[in-house]
Amino acid sequence: MSPFRSHMRATLALGLPLIGSQLATIAIGLTDTIMVGWYGVPELAAVALGSATYHTVMIIGMGFALAVMPMVAAAVANDDRTQARRVTRMGFWIAVLFSLLAIPFFWFSGPIMVLVGQEPDLAQNVQDYLRIAGFGMMPIVLFLVLRSHLSALEHTRIVLWATLAGVALNAGLNYILIFGNLGAPELGLEGAALASLGTQVLMMAILAIYAARTKGVKEYDLYARFWRSDWEAFGQVFRLGWPIALTLLSEGGLFTASMIMMGWIGELELAAHGIALQIASATFMVHVGLSSAATVRAGHAWGRSDLPALRNAAFAALTLSALMVAVTIALFLLIPGPMIALFLDPADPLRPQIIAIGTTLLAVAALFQLADAAQVMALGLLRGVQDTRLPMIFAVFSYWLVGVPASYLLGFTLGLGGPGIWLGLVIGLVLAGSLMMARFWRGPARLPHPV
């Protein structure tokens, strides 16, 4: 078997459960959006904005969790269990500290929403949602640290099963708590927040128990003397993680900024934006899963100083990603209406308007699929070789100095409205994808160390 085919097979074996896990994660968000959409359009707008805000904060913690993955992968390549345990344990510490710092932001999110131009009623609904959902930050970031550790050890199936269990629990709790079924009180969007909180606790618990009891994983003894500080490892995770966090925040903030600008146009546009973004995010999760697999494969090759294996791993992951891009573009252009209709009550009089707006947005989303896939795959490969600072600069520049101004210019100054805001996203993503892909192939993929 050729090295390329071998890497394709290995990437698929590692990546398919991660892709499934990412899709299941999106399924949780889709379930929330669909069920709250059936409950009411004002609640849908609030959950769309609240979820976007929550995930913008969460991805900062995710950055530190993702830093654990390449560090553990490199340690495993060198058969260094002690280092793998140290960085994962300090990843736990950072997750706990970060989550505690995030709670006040969620608790007082209403005034913040008003400050960024949202209507008072919408801002209050967002705050009601986030005051409950915010307590899920700690379990979800701890889950992400465990996911990074297990992925680096190539134990990815349990990640998929844990997330699927979360999908099932979330759907059941939403059914009970949003609508007041089975004798429960009707809680609306607060019920959706409670369902998300319970789901995140379950997912974390499954991975935590697996890491403590499973052969090949329990030997790392992650929880022994958990209370003992290890500031050297803490610093290693922090130094690698904060550029990842800022990179993710730049991209997530780009989409949150677009959500806020959509809110300035109107509630219908915001609801359609939330639905279209959920659909685009679902397809994007395939690339995120492949990107994580690429991080592990690149991390193993980097730990062994095997440059040919690094290049073959990169080619394999990028080929798989490109195939998915072609499928996604076809779906967005051929059947946008039926996909958007899934999120809306058939009896809702506003349904045709939301479908029309969302169809246009998905057509624009088809434009940035290749660029979005390129940037997330390049980021995964660069993380694998522990090259995170220059990609952070690329992200901040592309998304905030180019993408957000372009969205405002096209959406408001030139009067293109919602489609103009999304065209600004296209511009930012194309620039980021080009810069990051060039960085990998002209830097770590050519040289023995990043420059």
The first and second tokens of residue 221, run together, are 């003894």
For residue 178, count other CB atoms closer than 10 A to its CB. 26
Q: Average model confidence (pLDDT) for the chain?
A: 87
- Residue 445 pLDDT class (50, 70, 90 cuts): low
Task: Give the pTM.
Answer: 0.82
**What pLDDT score does 449 carry?**
45
Q: Which amino acid is at 279?
A: I
Closest of 87, 83, 81, 85 to residue 65, by C-alpha = 87
Residue 426 scores a pLDDT above 90? no
pLDDT for 446 equals 64
Task: Say whether pLDDT at 253 is over 80.
Answer: no
Residue 236 pLDDT: 93
Going 236 to 239 to 245 to 251, the CA torsion angle's sign is negative
Of the listed ranges 171-185, 261-275, 288-302, the least confidently predicted one is: 261-275
Identify the band that residue 451 occupies on the pLDDT scale cut at 50, 70 and 90: very low
pLDDT value, residue 312: 85
Confidence class for position 278, pLDDT limits 50, 70, 90 = confident
Q: Residues 336-348: what's their mean pLDDT?
A: 80
Q: Which tokens hold the place of 257?
A: 């900024």
Which of the given ranges, 17-26, 30-39, 150-159, has the highest pLDDT on average? 150-159
Q: Is the pLDDT of residue 328 over 50?
A: yes
Length of the chain: 451
Contact 305, 436 (CB under 8 A): no
Q: What is the mean pLDDT of residues 84-95?
A: 94
Q: Which whole number is the average pLDDT over 188-207?
A: 92
Q: How far apart are CA 349 and CA 399, in angstroms?
A: 36
**Per-residue pLDDT at 159:** 92
pLDDT in tens, 226-242: 888 899 999 999 999 99
Find the range with the poorest average confidence among 284-288, 389-393, 440-444: 440-444
pLDDT value, residue 17: 87
Place of tokens 């490199």: 74
Cα–Cα distances (Å) from 89 to 157, 218, 226, in that order, read 22, 13, 7
Domain ranges, ordered by start, for the chain: 3-442
